[in-house]
Amino acid sequence: PATIRREDYRPPDWFIPEIELDFQLGLERTVVRSKLDVRRSKSAKYDAPLILNGDDLLPVNVLVDGKKWNEWKLEEGNLTLPLTGAAHIVEIEVELDPSTNTQLMGLYGSNGMLCTQCEAEGFRRITFFADRPDVLSRYKVRMEGDKQAFPILLCNGDKVEEGEAEGGRHWAQWNDPWPKPSYLFALVAGDLVANSDSFTTRSGKEVELNIWVRDGDLPRTGHAMQALKDSMRWDEEVYGREYDLGLFNIVAVSDFNMGAMENKGLNVFNSRYILADPEVATDADFDGIEGVVAHEYFHNWSGNRVTCRDWFQLSLKEGFTVFRDQSFSADMSSAALKRIEDVRILRAAQFPEDAGPLAHPIRPESYQEISNFYTATVYNKGAEIIRMMHSMMGAENFRKGTDLYFDRHDGEAATCEDFVVSMEDGGGIDLTQFRVWYRTPGTPRVSAKLSHNPQTGTATLELKQSIAAGGAKPGPSEMVIPLRTALLNPETGEHDGEQLLILDKAEQSFTFEGQNDHPVLSINRGFSAPIILENSRTAEELAFLSSHDDDPFARFEAMQQLMTGYLTAQITGTPADRDIILQAIGAVLADENIDRAFLAEIILLPTEAFLGDQMVEVDPQAIHDAREKLRGKIGVQFERKFRRLYKQCVPGEFSLSAEARADRKLRNVTLGYIAASQVEDAAEIAYDQYCDANNMTAMQGALGVLSHLDAEERGHAFESFYTRFKDNALVLDKWFTMQAMSQRSDTIKRVDALSRHPDFTLANPNRVRALYGAFAGNQVRFHDPSGRGYAMIADMVIALDPQNPQTAARFIPQLGRWRRYERGRSELMRLALEKIAATSNLSKDVAEQVSKSLA
Ligand code: HT7
Ligand code: ZN
């Protein structure tokens, strides 16, 4: 496949300021007629032809300026028209069969409804068009369809007219006043009902809000609606951004490749990010809904009003919007827990990407298939880059910068560079060197050494930065790394205030006066920079920080580092002190002032995947064994305390209050430790929890524990769960997931059997991710030394690719990490990749990921 390079960007030869679309809708046959007002760019050559992208389309009819036109050519799917004038009206008719669109890009059928997904390049599967984000058009759309099959007809903007048509059909005319790129186009037709509400903007405009779902799902839309209203208010208060239409529609669909899509005025969501009530959704699900609803809403400004010039600038809207949704969620609940969770995601998804064959800068230099670049790097590392600007500038100047950015570029297709320049001009900061982050892949490593001179009462901090091989590019490569730092009194844990140190050289030292005792270093507080901090502190210092640091993230992090240090030593057969961990855990368990949710977080062991990322060569079985051994020891050591806490956290009436959520969380974590201590009644306690549960968090916690056990309660619970929830697709996904995550040795066999279960289908991405996504994340079972886990994923990718290449390609990175594993597994992973590579007619999506993984 061809490689597209950032440096090759050229502005469009033709603009299309106006487009009219007419849809005659049908699940098996939809006719699309378009009328484009095309204008040659002043900078284009006089004979530059009009090239309209198409993917799997055939023009039925082409007119230019009202006359039938036969001089078109189809080249690689694109329609080329050799036009000579400066402006023309081009009309094109195409026919689609949405029922065969299994890629879920363009116009497709889902549960009897019709819906669209156009980002990044789906609009070209609906009609021929300049399908690039720097061509902005005003859309007028008429849609017509059978009234019974599609009683609700939705599109972007405002509905300006509607009426009845012959043969039981009806129609609606939608106009969107805001020029937009084609990737923000959306249309939905179906039998839907709405949870309707309204929002008054701060300037007094009334906005109608609707969340459209299938009939029975209406009672599960309340949380999403509240999240939407909270987001609208928050964006006004924190960024001064108001909504700009009289209507905001959200539609939930069950077949969707990603989480949701920010189409102008008509967001389309994966139903898992809309539907929730306590019986079917966990607390994490509720949080996911709040975060994704906010994310899509925030795109109205960061993405829609100011969009991207080209897809290399994707992080301009995605990194910034993730930062915005993270800040929103932090403001809505606990900022500390949110930060811990965000960093966990970054480390689980982005750090490995940055350390592997698919590493790329947040602003990539090239791609073959843009869908492969909706990555944790572009999204989550992108958000970290914005967060660092925020830390360095302070909230007030940051806001001045974003105000200027929105003012300057409103209605434009902008670049990352435009954003940085606005932040410099508006926020009064020089970001010259900071720009290195935009072009450099890889996670920087920072070593920190603190020394103390009792004679002078000074402490000196020596910092060094480096970046893993393959990460650094020639040229100035030092990153600007803002490190929130405090020096803690070694007795009391107190300090004289935190400082923001800016590390912008390869090596740098900072001196602190007035330090009579050797202080304890608290650094990268709040995870102020997305770096790997190389072991800079002793186990004793880490234990001290885990009970004294006043920055909750740093406190959590100290415990994680303490546990990680011990476990990595165990795995490699190096002696290490376990007692200090037990003491540290004992100290937090004895802390009467500790927040319960934070306690649940801080006593968790690092994940097996994270531990693997710390190893030179990964042996998943050795990691699993060492971790389980420590879990067991902690369970035994504190069994009485865990049982007491477990009882104290007995749930009352369900509530989403912070206290109730903390209790549910701590109850599940303590249950996990009680089971890890291998006491006889563990299965019984878990089963009782399952039976008594009045909410999904408790149920899932219980099933999660039972899933690993060899007890009859396990079978009963899973059967009862299936019977109760088999008609709820989102809950059934959990049933598949929990079995695929089981640590039992028969898990591969079980996953194989589940792939033939009548409720399993490759046609639904949520189901595929529920079973295979969960299994590929199950370190000890996916990495079975036989290689059967790898073969299973490879076979699934080969089967799924012809139907849904985007979803198939998302499984390649798991195998792509083959170089990190011990020899036996490494070779088997490589062979699985080779098998995929040898498959004929691979999609561009899978081919790009596989070839890069093998290179
Ligand atoms: N901006 C949206 C991206 C998206 C997408 C991309 C490729 C294929 C399918 C997709 N569905 C949604 C999601 C977001 O970041 O808000
Ligand atoms: Zn987004």
Does residue 246 lie in a domain region? no
Closest CA relative to residue 135, chosen from 310, 42, 35, 15 = 15
Residue 200, Ramachandran bin (φ over 0: left; ψ between -120 and 50: alpha; else beta):
beta
Cβ proximity of 358 and 852 under 8 Å: yes
Q: Tell me the best of 105, 107, 261, 299 to mutate to test the pocket of ligand 1, counting ligand atoms within 8 Å of each CB and taking the most.
A: 261
- Same domain for 342 and 322: yes
Helix runs in 709-764, H state only: 712-725, 729-740, 747-754
Does residue 45 lie in a domain region? yes
- Same domain for 434 and 313: yes
Return the ligand 1 atom nearest residue 104 CA: 9
* CATH code at position 87: 2.60.40.1730
**CB of 296 closer than 6 A to ligand 1?**
yes
* CATH code at position 466: 2.60.40.1840
Its pTM stands at 0.98
- Same domain for 73 and 155: yes
Domain span including residue 179: 4-191
Beta-carbon contacts of residue 170 (< 8 Å; ≥ 6 apart)? 144, 145, 147, 153, 162, 163, 164
Catalytic residue among 121, 296, 478, 608: 296
Cβ proximity of 446 and 532 under 8 Å: yes
**CB of 121 closer than 6 A to ligand 1?**
no
Cβ proximity of 716 and 687 under 8 Å: yes
Closest CA relative to residue 610, chosen from 787, 777, 381, 785 = 777
Cβ proximity of 297 and 231 under 8 Å: yes
**CB of 830 closer than 6 A to ligand 1?**
no
* CATH code at position 319: 1.10.390.10
Quick one: DSSP state of residue 48?
Answer: P
Q: Is the interface score ipTM higher than 0.85? A: yes
- Same domain for 360 and 499: no
**CB of 69 closer than 6 A to ligand 1?**
no
Return the ligand 1 atom nearest residue 258 CA: 11
Does residue 765 lie in a domain region? yes
Does residue 358 lie in a domain region? yes
Distance 851 CA to ligand 2 centre (A): 27
- Same domain for 458 and 354: no
- Same domain for 471 and 374: no
Reduced DSSP (H G I as helix, E B as strand, rest coil) percent helix, strand, coil of the chain, to 5? 45, 20, 35
Residue 442, Ramachandran bin (φ over 0: left; ψ between -120 and 50: alpha; else beta):
left
**CB of 645 closer than 6 A to ligand 1?**
no
Residue 711 CA: distances (Å) to CA of 667, 679, 684, 720: 21, 13, 9, 15
- Same domain for 184 and 45: yes
Cβ proximity of 190 and 26 under 8 Å: no
Helix axes 747-754, 729-740, angle to 10 degrees: 150
Burial class of residue 267 in the structure, from the number of CB atoms within 10 Å of its CB (0-12 exposed, 13-18 middle, 19+ buried): buried
Distance 781 CA to ligand 2 centre (A): 32
Distance 844 CA to ligand 1 centre (A): 18
Does residue 332 lie in a domain region? yes
Residue 460 CA: distances (Å) to CA of 290, 368, 494, 521: 44, 48, 18, 11
Helix (H) or strand (E) segment spanning residue 434: none
What pLDDT was estimated at residue 467?
A: 87
Distance 828 CA to ligand 2 centre (A): 36
Closest ligand to Cα 267: 1
**CB of 268 closer than 6 A to ligand 1?**
no
Residue of the nearest CA to atom 6 in ligand 1? 119
- Same domain for 11 and 150: yes
Q: Tell me the best of 268, 311, 374, 379 to mutate to test the pocket of ligand 1, counting ligand atoms within 8 Å of each CB and taking the most.
A: 374
- Does a cis peptide bond (omega within 30 degrees of 0) precede residue 120? yes
Return the ligand 1 atom nearest residue 296 CA: 16
Does residue 215 lie in a domain region? no
Cβ proximity of 774 and 792 under 8 Å: no
Distance 830 CA to ligand 2 centre (A): 33
* CATH code at position 747: 1.25.50.10
**Catalytic site includes residue 236:** no
**CB of 261 closer than 6 A to ligand 1?**
yes
What pLDDT was estimated at residue 470?
A: 57
What pLDDT was estimated at residue 473?
A: 55
Distance 322 CA to ligand 2 centre (A): 7
Helix (H) or strand (E) segment spanning residue 296: helix 283-298
**Chosen domain end from 397, 421, 439:** 439
- Same domain for 323 and 380: yes
Burial class of residue 835 in the structure, from the number of CB atoms within 10 Å of its CB (0-12 exposed, 13-18 middle, 19+ buried): middle
Return the ligand 1 atom nearest residue 303 CA: 1
Does residue 481 lie in a domain region? yes
User: How many of the other CB atoms lie within 10 Å of CB of 840?
Assistant: 4
Cβ proximity of 589 and 546 under 8 Å: no
- Same domain for 460 and 330: no
- Round to whole Å and give the CA distance between 74 and 97: 20
Return the ligand 1 atom nearest residue 371 CA: 7
**CB of 772 closer than 6 A to ligand 1?**
no
- Same domain for 773 and 750: yes
**CB of 762 closer than 6 A to ligand 1?**
no
What pLDDT was estimated at residue 160?
A: 98
What is the 3-state secondary structure of 556-615? HHHHHHHHHHHHHHHHCCCCCCCHHHHHHHHHHHHCCCCCHHHHHHHCCCCCHHHHHHHC
- Round to whole Å and give the CA distance between 69 and 81: 9
Collapsed DSSP state (helix, strand, coil) of residue 183: helix
- Same domain for 407 and 318: yes
- Round to whole Å and give the CA distance between 546 and 563: 11
Distance 261 CA to ligand 2 centre (A): 7
| Total number of domains constituting the chain | 4
Does residue 689 lie in a domain region? no
Cβ proximity of 353 and 372 under 8 Å: no
DSSP letters along 784-827, please? -TTSHHHHHHHHHHHHHTTT-HHHHHTTHHHHHTGGGB-HHHHH
**Chosen domain end from 191, 221, 236:** 191
**Chosen domain end from 418, 439, 460:** 439
Pairing of strands 444-453, 532-534: parallel
- Ranges of residues in the chain whose predicted pLDDT is under 50: 474
Q: State phi, psi for 360 to the nearest 5 degrees.
A: -155, 155
Closest ligand to Cα 118: 1
Closest ligand to Cα 259: 1
- Looking at the chain, the whole-number percentage of residues with pLDDT higher than 90 is 98
Distance 391 CA to ligand 2 centre (A): 22
- Round to whole Å and give the CA distance between 212 and 150: 13
Residue of the nearest CA to atom 13 in ligand 1? 261
**CB of 120 closer than 6 A to ligand 1?**
yes
- Round to whole Å and give the CA distance between 602 and 345: 16
